[in-house]
């Protein structure tokens, strides 16, 4: 709409306005016209509107209602005669005499006003019809829009769900090596013991993970090995027997879905997955010794305690919001 | 030459269109003739309440004489009379009662005109629709020059005004559309008339930066200047502008200048500055990207002329023939009839600065050629000199007899207006003398 062909000092307003109207017509050709919107609304009305909530025959009824018949009441109506016009003349002549008995003017005024009110009322009826009609059209459009938005919200919800699980799986995968690393590092004082912020977890959670002290190699392996379902061989890796033992135990609890599967296959993972709001001790809590403690306890609680508050030892929450206090990702799956 | 300017209210604080028009004309004609202003004590155009003040005073060097208004406007009675004469068959007596109800009913002013008309060469009556113009022009018909300031509203369809348009010595029209409308409704083609309009004292060097600094205005903006009133199309303007702010990627804000009679929308891009003095107003207009005029009824938009004098483009409501005609004749303004057109016109001006600048240049030229004060003064003086040379060609038709005045045989005024031809005049601007 912004560019015009006229580019000279001598603009012609008529020409510009013609171009403006042409552009509007073009745009209207792409967009829905008013008529199309109405047709669309009429079509969707049956489909989407809840017949229990909205009377679908409302417009029909409005169209069908005949306005009340009105009467005309002017100043001469009281004295009017259709059969004998001379009677009118006589009545008008005697009007001053009539006025000696009573004053007809207020009556005339009132009836005249009433006639106007009736006319006004009839015109309002038309307005109400328009109003209701427009409201129904708008309600339909909004209904369609709400449905679309609902679908989008659902789709985004699924994505968020998947992303959260993926993040938890990544965190869980990362925590194998730091724990071992920690055990090894405990034997020698090193500046690397100071907790560094994780690229995944929020920085404030790092201190609550005493066993997680990622070295660059650990970071690389955490991101790099996540897709392969397990940590890569790091400098401080535990023995393969220990690792596979723990992995088997975890798989057993998860029902056989490894982290890689969770991360790599969004289509498969949501099935049978607990709500994303639930906590994931495997990812958020400090990693316990592999074969002991709360992790297994929580896993054993199972679905019967889906919103059980995690033990205090889990670091005071995961940072994903207050609804993250469930038994853990492992029990969820 | 001695002239009387007769107007319903007068004063420096009165910014209504016809009243301001009258004051400007009085002050500029005073350079060439002896000018008296005859007006009322009223300053409120709704109630016509008498305001305290001296009967005689000088405003900007012009002697002003004030007369009492006999009664204030009774709004209920006025609306009842309006409904009767606009919507129903009615009598001339009904129309006269409507005029009396409209006000400002000042028989003292009319009596003064009748008694002292001979002491003036000409009496210039402003605004045909008010009591003082109708009765005053009838009382001094041979010296009456009417500046009708007529709009396309139902009042122009009232039958009582037709003899007035035919009976005055001359008419000073504001626009070709107004002239065509009055000639159609009254058949007064024989009466000398000239499309004049009015000038404006626009400063040669406005200071937009001073305005921005004083009022803390940043960024680009469109401006509306005038009374903020539903009758002026402001509701539609707000609706359209909020749509513009919502629907498109635009940066313009809307600045409102003038007294408001409406609750203003709470929108971060709509700002109301209230009533500003002329210097600030012109600085603001110079700082604006464009002027918006949403009014449906105008006889001439002075503020459009001022914007053009400052080299600013205008966006006007095309439902008003006069505004559309002004835009077309000047080649300096765009117009809209619908929201889509409003949106695209505003966007066009916002995104194409060259377009606004070119329209502004056209507007400046249009103003210089047709509305600078020497041009306006010359048109008035030429016509008055011509009238002084010529004998009066028309006489005011007397009112019909008592019984005839009460015959309900006049059509509803709005029906008359509906039959009037529509459309903007594409003739050259303020085409000059026509008679």
Nearest to A11 among B331, B335, B344 (CB): B331
252-291 of B, contacting A, C-beta below 8 A: none
CATH of B208-370, one of 3.40.50.2000, 3.30.565.10, 3.90.1300.10, 3.40.50.300: 3.40.50.2000
What rounded mean pLDDT belongs to chain B? 91
Per-residue pLDDT at A143? 84
Task: Summarize pLDDT for B376-425 with one digit per residue, the tens.
Answer: 999 999 999 999 998 877 688 999 999 999 999 999 999 999 988 888 77
Per-residue pLDDT at A96? 87
**What backbone phi and psi angles, to 5 degrees, belong to B207?**
-120, 85
Query: CA of B209 to nearest chain A CA: how many angstroms apart?
Result: 27
Alpha carbon distance B234, B3 (integer Å): 37
B328 to A14: CB separation less than 8 angstroms, yes or no: yes
Nearest to B355 among A4, A14, A21 (CB): A4
User: Is-contact B347 A2, C-beta < 8 A?
Assistant: yes
User: Is-contact A58 A131, C-beta < 8 A?
Assistant: no
Per-residue pLDDT at A191? 45
B348 to A20: CB separation less than 8 angstroms, yes or no: yes
Residue A251 clears pLDDT 70, i.e. is over it: no
Radius of gyration, CA atoms only, chain A: 40
Query: CA of A26 to nearest chain B CA: how many angstroms apart?
Result: 12
- Which residues of chain B lie closer than 8 angstroms to A24, CB-CB? 340-341, 344
| Torsion of the alpha carbons at B86, B92, B94 and B98, rounded to the nearest 10 | 70
Alpha carbon distance B422, A98 (integer Å): 49
Q: Is residue A321 part of a domain?
A: no
Per-residue pLDDT at B394? 62
A20 to B361: CB separation less than 8 angstroms, yes or no: no
Residue B128 clears pLDDT 70, i.e. is over it: yes
A21 to B341: CB separation less than 8 angstroms, yes or no: yes
Residue A67's pLDDT band, with cuts at 50, 70 and 90, is: low
Nearest one of B236, B233, B215, B3 to B120, comparing CA atoms? B3
Task: Summarize pLDDT for A274-326 with one digit per residue, the tens.
Answer: 333 333 333 333 333 333 333 333 333 333 333 333 333 333 333 333 333 33
B347 to A116: CB separation less than 8 angstroms, yes or no: no
Beta strands B62-67 and B56-59, pairing class: antiparallel
B348 to A7: CB separation less than 8 angstroms, yes or no: no
B90 or A11: which carries more pLDDT confidence? B90
- Which residues of chain A lie closer than 8 angstroms to B352, CB-CB? 2-4
Per-residue pLDDT at A260? 41
Q: Is residue A78 part of a domain?
A: yes
Residue B129's pLDDT band, with cuts at 50, 70 and 90, is: very high
Mutate which of A8, A10, A11 to disrupt the B interface (most B C-beta within 10 Å)? Answer: A11
- Same CATH topology for B2-199+372-434 and B208-370: the answer is yes
**What backbone phi and psi angles, to 5 degrees, belong to A275?**
-55, 145
Q: Is residue A63 part of a domain?
A: yes
User: Is-contact A208 A310, C-beta < 8 A?
Assistant: no
CATH of B2-199+372-434, one of 3.40.50.150, 3.40.50.2000, 3.90.1150.10, 3.90.340.10: 3.40.50.2000
Alpha carbon distance A87, A95 (integer Å): 12
Residue B282 clears pLDDT 60, i.e. is over it: yes
Does B333 contact chain A (CB < 8 Å)?
yes
Task: Summarize pLDDT for A17-65 with one digit per residue, the tens.
Answer: 988 888 887 766 555 555 666 666 665 455 444 544 555 566 666 666 6
Query: CA of A9 to nearest chain B CA: how many angstroms apart?
Result: 6
Q: If you average pLDDT over residues A74-88, what whole number do you get?
A: 81
Alpha carbon distance B124, B333 (integer Å): 31
Task: Summarize pLDDT for B39-86 with one digit per residue, the tens.
Answer: 999 998 889 999 998 999 999 999 999 999 999 999 999 999 999 999
Residue B187's pLDDT band, with cuts at 50, 70 and 90, is: very high
Counting the structural domains of chain A, the total is: 1
Residues 6+ apart with CB under 8 A from A8: none
B334 to A9: CB separation less than 8 angstroms, yes or no: no
Alpha carbon distance A268, B56 (integer Å): 95
Nearest to A2 among B340, B348, B362 (CB): B348
Does B433 contact chain A (CB < 8 Å)?
no
Question: Containing domain of residue A71, as a range?
Answer: 15-154
B331 to A12: CB separation less than 8 angstroms, yes or no: yes
User: Three-state SS across chain B?
Assistant: CEEEEECCCCCCCCCCHHHHHHHHHHHHHCCCCEEEEEEECECCCCCCCECCCCCEEEECCEEEEEECCCCCCCHHHHHHHHHHHHHCCECHHHHHHHHHHHCCCCHHHHHHHHHHHHHCCEEEEECCCCHHHHHHHHHCHHHEEEECCCCCCHHHHCCCHHHHHHHCCEEEECCHHHHHHHHHHHCCCCCCEEECCCCCCCCCCCCHHHHHHHHCCCCCEEEEECCECHHHCHHHHHHHHHHHHHHCCCCCEEEEECCECCCCCCCCCEEEEECCCHHHHHHHHHHCCEEEECCCCCCCCHHHHHHHHCCCCEEEECCCHHHHHHHHHHCCEEEECCHHHHHHHHHHHHHCHHHHHHHHHHHHHHHHHHCCHHHHHHHHHHHHHHHHHCCCCCCCCCCCCHHHHCCCCECCHHHHHHHCCCCCCCCCCCCEEEC
A184-198, A218-232, B120-134: which has the highest mean pLDDT? B120-134
**Domain boundaries in chain B?**
2-199+372-434, 208-370
- Which residues of chain A lie closer than 8 angstroms to B354, CB-CB? 7
Alpha carbon distance A304, B426 (integer Å): 84
Q: If you average pLDDT over residues B281-296, what whole number do you get?
A: 94
Q: If you average pLDDT over residues B191-213, what whole number do you get?
A: 91
Per-residue pLDDT at B395? 80
Residue A228 clears pLDDT 60, i.e. is over it: no
Q: Indicate the range of A274-283, B68-77, B168-177, B220-229 predicted with least confidence.
A: A274-283
DSSP result, A51-112 = TTTS-TTHHHHHHHPPPPP-----TTGGG--SS-HHHHHHHHHHHHHHHHH---HHHHHHHH
Q: If you average pLDDT over residues A158-179, what whole number do you get?
A: 79
- Which residues of chain B lie closer than 8 angstroms to A4, CB-CB? 348, 352, 355
Per-residue pLDDT at B361? 93
B365 or A46: which carries more pLDDT confidence? B365
DSSP result, A287-327 = PPPTTSHHHHHHHHHGGG-TTPPPPGGGTS--SS-TT--SS
A1 to B362: CB separation less than 8 angstroms, yes or no: no
Q: Is residue A278 part of a domain?
A: no
> C-alpha angle B75/B77/B80, rounded to 5°?
105
Per-residue pLDDT at A205? 40
- Which residues of chain B lie closer than 8 angstroms to A9, CB-CB? 358, 361
380-419 of B, contacting A, C-beta below 8 A: 408
Q: Indicate the range of A200-204, A240-244, A245-249, B146-150 predicted with least confidence.
A: A200-204
Does B345 contact chain A (CB < 8 Å)?
yes
Tokens linked to A207: 């201190």
Per-residue pLDDT at A240? 54
Task: Summarize pLDDT for A117-132 with one digit per residue, the tens.
Answer: 888 888 787 788 778 8
Query: CA of A48 to nearest chain B CA: how many angstroms apart?
Result: 27
Residue A204 clears pLDDT 60, i.e. is over it: no
Peptide bond preceding B104: is omega within 30 degrees of 0, i.e. cis? yes
**CA–CA distance from B171 to each of A196, A323, B250, B325, B417 (Å)?**
90, 82, 45, 20, 20
Residue A267 clears pLDDT 60, i.e. is over it: no
Tokens linked to A114: 């009433």
Residue B226 clears pLDDT 80, i.e. is over it: yes
Closest chain B residue to the Cα of A25, Cα to Cα:
B340
């Amino acid at each position: 709409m912004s560019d015009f062909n006229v580019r000279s000092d001598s603009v012609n307003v008529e020409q510009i306005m013609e171009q403006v109207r042409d552009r509007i017509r073009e745009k209207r050709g792409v967009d829905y016209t008013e008529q199309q919107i109405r047709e669309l609304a009429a079509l969707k009305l049956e489909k989407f509107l809840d017949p229990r909530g909205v009377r679908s025959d409302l417009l029909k009824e409005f169209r069908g209602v005949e306005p009340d018949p009105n009467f005309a009441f002017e100043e001469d109506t009281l004295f009017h005669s259709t059969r004998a016009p001379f009677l009118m003349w006589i009545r008008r002549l005697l009007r001053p005499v009539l006025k000696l008995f009573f004053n007809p003017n207020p009556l005339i005024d009132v009836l005249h006003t009433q006639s106007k009110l009736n006319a006004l009322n009839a015109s309002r009826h038309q307005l109400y019809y328009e109003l209701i009609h427009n409201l129904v059209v708008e309600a339909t459009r909004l209904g369609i829009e709400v449905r679309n938005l609902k679908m989008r919200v659902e789709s985004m919800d699924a994505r968020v769900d998947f992303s959260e699980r993926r993040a938890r799986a990544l965190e869980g995968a990362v925590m194998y090596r730091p724990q071992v690393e920690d055990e090894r590092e405990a034997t020698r004082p090193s500046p690397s013991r100071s907790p560094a912020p994780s690229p995944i977890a929020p920085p404030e959670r790092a201190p609550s993970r005493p066993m997680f002290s990622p070295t660059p190699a650990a970071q690389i392996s955490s991101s790099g090995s996540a897709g392969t379902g397990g940590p890569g061989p790091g400098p401080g890796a535990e023995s393969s027997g220990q690792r596979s033992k723990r992995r088997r135990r975890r798989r057993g609890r998860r029902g056989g879905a490894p982290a890689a599967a969770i991360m790599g296959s969004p289509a498969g993972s949501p099935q049978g997955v607990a709500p994303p709001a639930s906590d994931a001790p495997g990812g958020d809590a400090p990693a316990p010794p592999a074969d002991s403690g709360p992790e297994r306890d929580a896993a054993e609680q199972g679905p019967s305690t889906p919103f059980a508050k995690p033990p205090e030892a889990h670091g005071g929450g995961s940072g994903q919001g207050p609804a993250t206090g469930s038994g853990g990702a492992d029990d969820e799956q | 030459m001695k002239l009387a300017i007769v107007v319903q209210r007068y004063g420096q604080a009165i910014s209504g269109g016809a009243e301001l028009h009258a004051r400007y004309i009085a002050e500029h004609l005073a350079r060439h003739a002896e000018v008296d202003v005859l007006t009322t004590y009223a300053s409120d155009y709704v109630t016509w309440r008498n305001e305290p003040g001296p009967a005689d005073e000088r405003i900007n060097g012009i002697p002003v004489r004030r007369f009492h208004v006999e009664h204030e406007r009774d709004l209920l009675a006025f609306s009842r009379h309006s409904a009767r004469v606009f919507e129903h068959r009615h009598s001339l007596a009904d129309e006269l009662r409507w005029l009396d109800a409209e006000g400002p009913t000042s028989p003292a002013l009319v009596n003064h005109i009748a008694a002292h008309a001979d002491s003036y060469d000409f009496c210039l009556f402003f605004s045909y629709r008010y009591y003082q113009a109708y009765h005053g022009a009838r009382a001094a018909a041979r010296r009456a020059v009417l500046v009708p300031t007529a709009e396309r509203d139902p009042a122009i369809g009232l039958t009582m005004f037709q003899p007035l348009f035919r009976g005055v010595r001359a008419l000073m029209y504001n626009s070709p559309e107004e002239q065509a409308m009055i000639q159609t409704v009254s058949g007064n083609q024989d009466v000398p008339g000239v499309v004049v309009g009015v000038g404006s004292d626009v400063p040669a060097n406005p200071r937009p930066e001073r305005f921005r600094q004083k009022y803390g205005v940043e960024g680009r903006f469109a401006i509306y200047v005038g009374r903020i009133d539903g009758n002026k199309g402001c509701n539609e303007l707000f609706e359209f502008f909020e749509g513009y702010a919502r629907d498109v990627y635009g940066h313009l804000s809307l600045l409102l200048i003038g007294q408001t009679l409406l609750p203003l929308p709470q929108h971060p891009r709509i700002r109301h500055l209230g009533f500003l003095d002329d210097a600030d107003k012109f600085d603001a207009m110079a700082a604006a990207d464009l002027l918006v005029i949403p009014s449906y009824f105008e006889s001439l938009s002075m503020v459009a002329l001022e914007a053009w004098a400052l080299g600013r483009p205008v966006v006007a409501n095309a439902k008003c023939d006069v505004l559309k005609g002004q835009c077309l004749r000047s080649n300096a303004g765009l117009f809209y009839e619908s929201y889509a057109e409003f949106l695209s016109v505003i966007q066009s001006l916002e995104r194409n600065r060259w377009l606004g600048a070119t329209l502004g240049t056209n507007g400046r030229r249009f103003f210089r050629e047709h509305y600078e004060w020497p041009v306006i003064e010359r048109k008035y003086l030429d016509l008055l000199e011509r009238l002084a040379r010529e004998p009066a060609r028309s006489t005011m038709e007397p009112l019909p007899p008592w019984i005839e005045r009460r015959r309900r045989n006049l059509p509803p005024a709005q029906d008359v207006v509906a039959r009037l031809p529509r459309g903007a005049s594409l003739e050259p601007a303020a085409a000059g003398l026509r008679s």
